[in-house]
Every structure is written in C-alpha cells, then in structure tokens.
Amino acid sequence: MSYLELTWTDDETGMNGFVVIDRLSRGLSGGGLRMRAGCTIDEVRDLARGMSLKEPVVYTPGDKYIPLGGAKAGIDCDPYDPRAREVLGRFARAIKPLVDTCFATGEDFGVRQDVIDEVFAAEGIASSAGAGYRVVEDGAEAGMARQLAAFAVEVDGVGLGELVGGYGVATCVLAAIAHRGLVAESTTAVVQGFGSMGGATARYLAKAGVKVVGISDREGLIYNPLGLDVETLLLTRDSLGVIDRGQLRTDDEQRPGTEWLCLDADVLVPAAMSYVITPDNVGEIRATIVVEAANVATLAAAEKILHDRGVTFVPDFVANVGTNAWWWWVVFGDIEPTAGASFAKLSDVLGPLTIAVLERAARDSVQSRAAATEISNEKRAMVDALHPRTVKAP
Ligand SMILES: NC(=O)c1ccc[n+]([C@@H]2O[C@H](COP(=O)([O-])OP(=O)(O)OC[C@H]3O[C@@H](n4cnc5c(N)ncnc54)[C@H](O)[C@@H]3O)[C@@H](O)[C@H]2O)c1
C-alpha cells in the first residue's frame, strides 16, 4: 500500500493530476513528474513503487547521498496541449506543501527540467527537488549551488542534465553486450523515444560503436540498416524530442512507429511510454538484449516470456537510475558538478551493477528484475541500519 495517494482536478480544464508517495525514507521521497494524455493514478503508483527500488539500488557505503523513499507525480495532459504549461503551474501550486517538505521531484516523460524550473519558480518553489536539500550535510545553499553548476554544463550542444540518464542507459547496454559475449562495434540497436533518455542513449551507444539503426518518436520510426546519423538528429530535434524530418539522409526510411519492436537489431531500448512491450507484441521482438530506459516499459507477463526465451533484460530501475542518482550525487557533493566526474561515477556504478544483476539472475535462475530487486532491498536494509531516521524540520 502506498504511503500517500492524491488526485487533483484542475478547476479550469477538468484535467487530473496525481501524486503517489510509495514510501518515505527519513521523512523524504523522490520521483519525477510526467505529463501524458491518458496518465492514470495506477500508472503513477507503479512508477512510485519503481522509485522505491531505484533510490537505493546505486547506494555505496561512504556516499553522502542517502537514498530517499519512492514517489511520482503525473498529469493527464498532452504536453503539446496549448494549456499544458498553465495546468502544470496550477498543479505545482496545489502540491507545493508536499514539494516543500517531503517530495523531491523533477523532469520525466513530457516535461523538461527547464520548464519545471520556470513554472515552479513562478509558484514560489525555488527547486522542485528542494525537499531533498534539507538533509544535505553542508546545507541546502551549497547543494543548490552545485546543482546549478551541474545544469549549466553542456556537452557537445546538449545540457549535462539531459545526458546523464541516457549515458547511464548506454552504460547498462554496453555491460549487457559484454555479458552476452558480443562486441559493441558489431552490434545494432533500436531506440523508441528521442527525448532526454532516448536521445542521450542513442548518442552514447553510437559513440561506443553500436550501430543505431532505428529511432522512433511520436511521429513514427526512422530506420536505416546502415546506421542513422544520431548526432545530427539529436541536435536538430525539437524541445520535446521530435525529429526534424528535413534532416534525414536520402537512404533513411520513414516507417510506422509500431515497427520499432520488430526491427532486425541486437538491442532494443524502449525510452518513451510505459506498457509498450506486452504479451501480444512480445513475439515480434527479434533483439536478444532489452534495456528499459522507460519506466515500466514491459508488462510482467511479457518480461517472463523474454526471460524464458533467453533474452538479456535490464529492468527500468537499474537501467534508467542515472538521472536520479546523478542529481543527488551532485547535490550531496559526492561528485564535482562536471561532465567528467559525472560520466566517471555513472560508469563506475552502473556497469558493475548491471553485471551483478545479470550474474545473480543466472546464478539463481531467476528473472533479472527479481535479482535486481534483491540487490535493491539488501542495499535499503544496509541504509536503514547505517543511518538514523531523522530529518531536519522544514
Ligand atoms: N527524463 C528523465 O530524467 C527520466 C529518468 C528516468 C526514467 N525516465 C523515463 O524515460 C521515459 C522517457 O522519458 P523522457 O524524459 O526521455 O521523455 P521526453 O518527453 O524527453 O521524450 C519522450 C520521447 O518519446 C517520444 N514519443 C512520444 N510518444 C511516442 C510514441 N507514441 N511512440 C514513440 N515515441 C514517442 C517523444 O517524441 C520523445 O522523443 C519515460 O518512461 C520516463 O519515465 C526519464
């Protein structure tokens, strides 16, 4: 059962928004805020549960960042709706008491962090993740200064904050490739979604030598068996991750978005909506490695089918932990707010974690999600034993 579930209805549009706090840890919880037409409280609850596993899974004794409990927010509104920004503002106003005290939030599907920052600031919220700053050892101001410094960093035309999540996903993919005895340079990949997560995943897979043969966005799929020009597409996509079709090369094919799943590729990375791999379509998958950049991308029954077929599967709360973990590593001062320190920590933590998950799954003949859940629960128990359950009053 969740610790708190809240449904808000916008007076002006009738749209609904939701917050679910799955659990508090030392009085705090964290998780992103998504905007999607059709978003429901059930979806937000699933995502909040995932956050409770995601927070501790990267914990290393000695880190200043102590994992929070899991939470999530969602608004049933298309991010392209002209009223989306106003709805987000009224939602922020409504949930301010939670954000000020126990719920640290940030970007997720359909909302970029810079938009959250602007809209929340207009509602008198200095940082969407401010609740977490209350436990920063050298104070909230120092934490905030590190966060601002990190978000000001750009790497080859893209903000660091938008890259770390996908860099983490790519790190997990590369570990899974090695675990299967393959090499990046002779491996192909398809990525569904080209926003924060999908865009950076494609960039860092391509940089590692993986041939990215398919990328889909909300308008459809772009396919080229010889490999796409990821960098050009990345730097010319719109602010919500839609590819500029004018940038396609003559041999790039445009296909229906639904075909992303059945392309002939070694690696599949869902990096858009939830619930996209189902028992009905899982049979179409030809890839031998599936890495979930998107939260709850795969229904449980479909995941079991992939496991039984011997597909290497890296579950969401391991694969996409990068953004969340990075944010807190920076704010708490575990790493310098630079690209070099950020990528180094992500590689050091996520590569070995992926291998540990896959090895435990093989050793115990269980699905990788079960192995990862065990690891996360063991780390949560370690955190609870090591750290007192107190938090400064707001
Ligand atoms: N951004 C983060 O920090 C973060 C962190 C962890 C997990 N995630 C998860 O990753 C997923 C993507 O989040 P994001 O922040 O990258 O979102 P985003 O809004 O930045 O990008 C979403 C992408 O999905 C595409 N898309 C929309 N509808 C589509 C459709 N029907 N078919 C194919 N593509 C479609 C959009 O065009 C866009 O390219 C979500 O499940 C989110 O929960 C995000």
CA 47 to ligand 1 centroid distance, Å: 14
CB atoms within 10 A of CB 363: 9
Mutate to test the pocket of ligand 1, among 108, 221, 230, 314 (most ligand atoms within 8 A of CB): 108
Closest by Cα among 338, 258, 303, 271 to 108 = 271
Cβ(75)–Cβ(35) below 8 Å: yes
Q: What backbone torsions phi and psi does residue 26 show, to the nearest 5 degrees? A: 50, 40
pLDDT tens, residue by residue, 126-160: 999 999 998 899 999 999 999 999 999 999 999 99
Note the Cα 157 to chain centre separation in Å: 21
Atom of ligand 1 nearest to the CA of 316: 7
Q: Indicate whether 257 pLDDT > 90.
A: yes
- Cα separation, 265 vs 270, whole angstroms: 13
CA 274 to ligand 1 centroid distance, Å: 9
Domains identified in the chain and CATH numbers: 4-55+68-135 (3.40.50.10860), 158-382 (3.40.50.720)
Residue nearest to atom 41 of ligand 1 (CA): 294
pLDDT tens, residue by residue, 45-72: 999 999 999 999 999 989 999 999 999 9
Which pLDDT belongs to residue 325?
97
Q: pLDDT category, 390, cuts 50, 70, 90?
A: low
Q: pLDDT category, 87, cuts 50, 70, 90?
A: very high
DSSP assignment of 318-333, as one string? HHTTHHHHHHHHHHHT
pLDDT tens, residue by residue, 303-337: 999 999 999 999 999 999 999 999 999 999 999 99
CA 263 to ligand 1 centroid distance, Å: 20
Mutate to test the pocket of ligand 1, among 109, 215, 223, 342 (most ligand atoms within 8 A of CB): 109
Give the global pTM. Answer: 0.95
Which pLDDT belongs to residue 393?
58
Ligand 1 near 92 CB (within 6 A): no
Residue with tokens 């379509």: 281
* Residue 265 CA: distances (Å) to CA of 139, 224, 225, 335: 48, 11, 9, 36
- Cα separation, 147 vs 145, whole angstroms: 5
Ligand 1 near 43 CB (within 6 A): no
Which pLDDT belongs to residue 245?
97
- Cα separation, 343 vs 163, whole angstroms: 10
Measured at the CA of 324, the angle between CA 267 and CA 46, to 5 degrees, comes to 75
Cβ(366)–Cβ(357) below 8 Å: no
Helix (H, G, I), strand (E, B) or coil at 298: strand
pLDDT exceeding 70 applies to what percent of the chain?
Answer: 98
Closest by Cα among 312, 268, 259 to 287 = 268
Which pLDDT belongs to residue 225?
97
CA 111 to ligand 1 centroid distance, Å: 9
Residues recognised as catalytic: 72
Residue with tokens 């999540």: 165
DSSP state of 28: B
Q: pLDDT category, 184, cuts 50, 70, 90?
A: very high
Helix (H, G, I), strand (E, B) or coil at 164: helix
Q: What backbone torsions phi and psi does residue 357 show, to the nearest 5 degrees? A: -65, -50
CB atoms within 10 A of CB 214: 26
- Cα separation, 18 vs 321, whole angstroms: 22
